[in-house]
Structure formats: C-alpha cells, structure tokens
Structure 1
Amino acid sequence: MPGPDLTAALAGFTLGLSLILAIGAQNAFVLRQGLVRRHVLAVVLTCAASDAALIAAGVSGMGALGARLPWFAPAMRLGGAAFLLWYGARALHTAWRGGMTMEAGGAAQSLRAALLTCLALTWLNPHVYLDTVVLLGAVAAGYDNRLAFGIGAVTASFVFFFALGYGARALAPLFAAPAAWRALDAVVGVTMWAIAASLLLH
C-alpha cells in the first residue's frame, strides 16, 4: 500500500492530468507547434513552467487572492476573450484561404512570437486560474503533504505537454496536405471562439 506522500503525489498527478486533457486554446497551440516542428521545446517548457508556477500558487494557499480583488476575474475574462477572438479569427482566416503546408507553417512564426502567443494563451485564460490555482489548491488543502500533491500535479503538466508537443510528430504524414491544415485551423478557430463566448457569457 502506498504511503501518504505517494498517495498525495498520485492524486495530484491524476487530477492535474485530467484538468489539462481536454482540447483548449493552449493545447491546440502546442499541437500546432508540434506538427510544424517549430520551437517545440521552448513552447512546451513555457506551458509546463507556467502551469508549475500556478500550481505552486494554488498549493501554497494563494487561491483566495481572487476573492480579495473583485476586479481580477472580470478583467481576466475580458482580456482573455478579446485575445481568443483575435486568435480564432486568424485561424479561421487561414482555413478560409486554404490552409498551409508543413513548411509554410514551420517558418511562419518567430521564437519570440511563438512564446508571446503561448504566454497569452496561458496567462490570459481565466479557466487556467480556476483549474490550477483554485481547484487544485482546494483539493491539495485536504492532504497532509500538500508539497507531494503539488509535485504530482506539476509532473502531470510536464508529461502531458512534452507528450503533446513531441507526440504530434506522429501525425505529420496526415498533415502533409493543405486540406488537413485547413481542417485543423477551422477546428482551432471554432475552439477559440467557443472558449471566448463561454468567457463573455459567464
């Protein structure tokens, strides 16, 4: 039977993984970068490190900060929705123009642009705060070893993003045709707009 530390770590890993498995703005972006094989290491490290910082904040008890700043949640919703509407429109525009080839997709974005987009998709998404800071923080409070729980959740983020970023290469043959990119961009655009709508209608 696992000890209390391992039990907490496994619980953190399981919950952390379940919270990031669903397709979302951040995951769709990581998938795209993995497919074009452009700045993959920098992008997955940025996502995982951002998650780690947010999880650490939640586990350390900072989840109550939002209650003390009533303007924080509405500001994040509006800012996140605006960015997602713009990003979704760009993806739908690309799909409308017929998609792109693997080579064009890989050369389209600089490292700086990729990292800024990644940071915006992460830190401007209120759902990220709800999942990592509030929810994980609340569950972690029920364990004697919150550090082990947090380590488990952080490990889940690193495992997931590295698997998504580098595992996307297995799908590369499927995306050799522009039509596949067109479909992907359409799905990404609709996903971004759906998330933005959920933020504005919250």
Structure 2
Amino acid sequence: MDILSALAGLGTGLSLIIAIGAQNAFVLRQGLRKEHVFIIVAICAGSDALLILLGISGIGLVVATAPLVLTIVRFVGAAFLIGYGLLAARRALRKEKLGADPAGKPLSLGATIATCLALTWLNPHVYLDTLLLLGSIANTHGDPGRWFFGLGAVVASLLWFGALGFGARLLAPLFVKPIAWRILDGLVALVMLGLGIMLLLGSL
C-alpha cells in the first residue's frame, strides 16, 4: 500500500511538473549554459518538496481561505514574468557583435538564485499544484500513505529538474550557432510573456 501511494505520488508529481512553464524554461536555458545548474536544481526541487510537505500537513487549506495572498502573488509574478520575457525578446532580436557570446552575458550566482526563487515562488500556479492539489490528493491515502505519496511527488520533482538541468548539456552541440540561442530566447520570451499576460487576466 505504501509503495502504491509512493508510485501514485511519483506519477501525479510528474504529470504536474512536466509542462512548458517559466521555471522549466529558465532551468533549461541555464542547463544549456552550464551555469549554476546544481544550485538551480536544488532550489526548484527543494521548493517543491517544502510546498508538497506543507500541503500534506494541511497548510494548503489555510492558503485556500486567503485569496488576497494569491492575488498579490499573481500581480507581482505577472510583472516579473513580463519583465523577464521582454529581456528574452531583446536577446532574441539583438544583432550579434564579433566575438560576442551568442547566449548573452552570464548571470552571477546571486542573480541566478534571485531569478530562480522569483520564478518559483511568484507563480501562484505552484501553490495550487503543490499546496492544494497534491496536498488534497495525498490526504486521500490516509496515514502513513499520504507521506509516501508526498515522498513520491518529491522524488518526481528531483528527477525532473535534475534531468532538465543536467541533461540539457546533451543539446549543447545544437546551440553552437547564435541563431539557435535566438530561437530559444524567442521561445522563452513567448512563454514568459504569455504566462505573464495570462496571470494579469486571471486565466491561470
């Protein structure tokens, strides 16, 4: 029973995490650049683990009764996503200079951490997925099954972000040419701007 709960958590976690989103786009881009990948994976997976465990413990019910908090997060997150999307669009449209880095200037460790935290915690969707949805599903498994379900979901997050961050380097040969980075940044811009606008409109 506990193993089945863990497998259910693994499958549910993967189904929610594996989607085109701002956080995944950022992890992929940094993975391709091979910049601060370990800390990015640790922040993403660690944040998911914390939120999943809080959801199982019942904190998600508290968040559900405080819609103002999610509204504030929605607008702040939308502003951040739109700003990041505009920067990505600028990189995609820029003209290359001789000897320029086709991937753009590298982010410092501090800027990387700040960006990763913002993309993770300023996304109201993550609270709905982890605190509310995963927490609610986990609690249908009773004790101690809900904790094994949570463990499975945590493992799913770690596997996904680890594969996305460290596996991205396998695509590195495709990004030797500047045009490949411009295409990637164009896609990142579309994702970020699209999600930001949807947040403003309340569609997420």
TM-score band w.r.t. shorter chain? over 0.9
Counterparts of residues 32-111 of structure 1 (less than 5 Å)? 32-98=29-95, 105=103, 108-111=106-109
> Counterpart in 2 of 1:143?
141
**Aligned to 2:67, what secondary structure does the other structure show?**
coil
Give the distance between the partners of 2:148 and 2:183, measured in 1 at CA: 41
User: Percent sequence identity over matched residues?
Assistant: 53
TM-score (normalizing by structure 1): 0.94
Give the distance between the partners of 2:199 and 2:5, measured in 1 at CA: 32
Q: Which amino acid aligns with 2:128?
A: L
Per-residue CA distance 1:20-65 (angstroms, 9 max, x = gap): 1011000000000100001010111111001111111111111111
- Between 1:117-126 and 1:189-198, the stretch displaced more is 189-198
Give the distance between the partners of 2:150 and 2:201, measured in 1 at CA: 32
Give the distance between the partners of 1:5 and 1:48, measured in 2 at CA: 22
Say if 2:116 is the partner of 1:118. Answer: yes
CA gap 1:96/1:152 in 2 versus in 1, 3 angstroms: same
CA gap 1:5/1:191 in 2 versus in 1, 3 angstroms: same
CA contact (8 A) 2:96 2:102 kept: no
Q: Which amino acid aligns with 1:92?
A: A
> Counterpart in 2 of 1:133?
131
Give the distance between the partners of 2:88 and 2:192, measured in 1 at CA: 9
CA contact (8 A) 2:22 2:192 kept: yes
Q: How many positions carry a matched residue from both structures?
A: 199
Per-residue CA distance 1:142-195 (angstroms, 9 max, x = gap): 102111000000000000000000110110000011000000000000100111
TM-score (normalizing by structure 2): 0.93
> Counterpart in 2 of 1:8?
5
- The Cα shift of 1:104 comes to 5.8
Give the distance between the partners of 2:105 and 2:91, measured in 1 at CA: 15
CA contact (8 A) 2:102 2:177 kept: no
**Aligned to 1:141, what secondary structure does the other structure show?**
helix
CA gap 1:134/1:115 in 2 versus in 1, 3 angstroms: same
Structure 2: any 5+ residue segments left out of the alignment? none
Q: Which amino acid aligns with 2:119?
A: L
Give the distance between the partners of 2:100 and 2:133, measured in 1 at CA: 38
> Counterpart in 1 of 2:188?
188
- Between 1:57-66 and 1:178-187, the stretch displaced more is 57-66
CA contact (8 A) 2:6 2:151 kept: yes
- The Cα shift of 1:67 comes to 3.0
Per-residue CA distance 1:4-34 (angstroms, 9 max, x = gap): 1001000000000110101100000000010
Give the distance between the partners of 1:138 and 1:74, measured in 2 at CA: 21
CA RMSD of aligned residues (A): 1.7
